[in-house]
Amino acid sequence: MLANTKDILIDAQKGKYGVAAFNVYSLETVQAAIKVAEQENQPVIIALGERYFPTVDVEGFSAMVRAMAEKASVPISLHLDHAYEKQSIIRAIRCGFSSVMFDGSAYDIEKNMRLTKEIVEIAHMAGVSVEAEIGSLAKGAFSDEEEGDGTLTDPETAKKFVEETGVDFLAAAIGTVHGMYKGEPKIDMDLLKRIRQVVDIPLVLHGGSGTPEEKIRQAIELGIGKINVNTEVSMAAVSHLQKYFKNKEIAHLSSVMEDMQLSIEPVMTKFVKLFSGK
């Protein structure tokens, strides 16, 4: 069923499990995410990044995802990931996204707070929930996210930020990276614990790819409800396609796409199972 991201995350918080937010870029990636969610009987968040707006028919995409979600046997929501522009957020709200992320993490905290508050006011009028970020993630390997400076979230700033902005979910930077880790992951669980002590809204972990399973389990235990996954899914598809084309010189696009979807489903399943605690 088509669900609201906030409801999905409040349920996750109560049940102490995590929900995957899969970045998608095509029909096949959406189909895979919904199929895996149904197979595992878990909710899933379909996330489209603002960076794809120039090439994606956002209104058409939203209509398609929402129609597919309505038929699903589990809660599925549609989320706008990493949006920097107010216009993109308004566009997403207008065409039915249930939650949006305003990423003001590159600004100083006062400006991030002011702009986030403005977005929260607009989004809440439309019944849409808002994710924000303070601190930022560094960029690892194979990611197509923007470069970040890798600044950890300060708990007291997080508390003030949540109180002042009225934001619904907070992305906490605790040392995960966007993409695959270039060295040993340095994830600060004690920092997460301290953030959770002062912030009671659902917390979001960006940079799910490559993060050790044990760290993910601990993070969920400490209050992470939404975990974003992008790079590992993309890598599975790309490496599969490379092998595919080595073995087949001539292929029809329809079977290439079908095969690509099959190659990402096991990766999504791994994450959904892990997050659900199964």
Q: Please answer whether residues 180 and 209 qualify as being in contact, where contact means their C-beta atoms are separated by less than 8 angstroms.
A: yes
Binding residues with ligand 13P: total (CB under 6 A): 14
Considering only 13, 98, 129, 209, the residue that binds ligand 13P (CB under 6 A) is 209
Nearer Cβ to ligand 13P (18/207) = 207
Considering only 207, 224, 237, 264, the residue that binds ligand 13P (CB under 6 A) is 207
- By CB under 6 A, is residue 82 in contact with ligand 13P? yes
Catalytically annotated residue among 11, 81, 103, 200: 81
- By CB under 6 A, is residue 148 in contact with ligand 13P? no
For residue 270, what are its two tokens? 């791994």
Q: Please answer whether residues 250 and 12 qualify as being in contact, where contact means their C-beta atoms are separated by less than 8 angstroms.
A: no
Q: Please, what's the b/e burial string for 44-59 (b: 16 or more CB within 10 A of its CB; e: otherwise)?
A: bbbbbbbbbbeebebe
Give the shortest CB-266-to-ligand 13P separation in angstroms.
16
81 counts as catalytic: yes
- Rounded CA-CA distance 112/133 in Å is 9
Radius of gyration from C-alpha coordinates of the chain: 18
Give the shortest CB-253-to-ligand 13P separation in angstroms.
26
Nearer Cβ to ligand 13P (165/228) = 228
- By CB under 6 A, is residue 226 in contact with ligand 13P? no
- By CB under 6 A, is residue 179 in contact with ligand 13P? yes
Nearest-CA neighbor of 134 among 164, 154, 114, 149? 154
Q: 82 φ, ψ to 5°?
A: 35, 75
Q: Determine the 3-state secondary structure of 143 from DSSP.
A: coil
- Rounded CA-CA distance 70/81 in Å is 21
Write out the binding residues for ligand 13P, residues 83-142 only, by CB under 6 A.
none
- By CB under 6 A, is residue 228 in contact with ligand 13P? yes
The span of 90-98, 190-198, 207-215, 235-243 binding ligand 13P (CB under 6 A) equals 207-215
Q: What is the DSSP string of 144-157?
A: -SPP---PPPPHHH
Give the shortest CB-126-to-ligand 13P separation in angstroms.
22
Give the shortest CB-164-to-ligand 13P separation in angstroms.
24
- Rounded CA-CA distance 67/138 in Å is 35
Considering only 23, 62, 112, 116, the residue that binds ligand 13P (CB under 6 A) is 23
The overall longest dimension of the chain from CA atoms, in Å, is 58
Nearest-CA neighbor of 208 among 227, 182, 223? 227
Q: Please answer whether residues 78 and 97 qualify as being in contact, where contact means their C-beta atoms are separated by less than 8 angstroms.
A: yes
Nearest-CA neighbor of 142 among 213, 229, 82, 74? 229
Give the shortest CB-7-to-ligand 13P separation in angstroms.
21
Nearer Cβ to ligand 13P (163/212) = 212
Nearer Cβ to ligand 13P (163/187) = 187
Considering only 230, 235, 236, 268, the residue that binds ligand 13P (CB under 6 A) is 230
Name the residues that contact ligand 13P, by CB under 6 A.
Answer: 23, 81-82, 143, 178-179, 206-209, 228-231
Please give the positions annotated as active site. Answer: 81
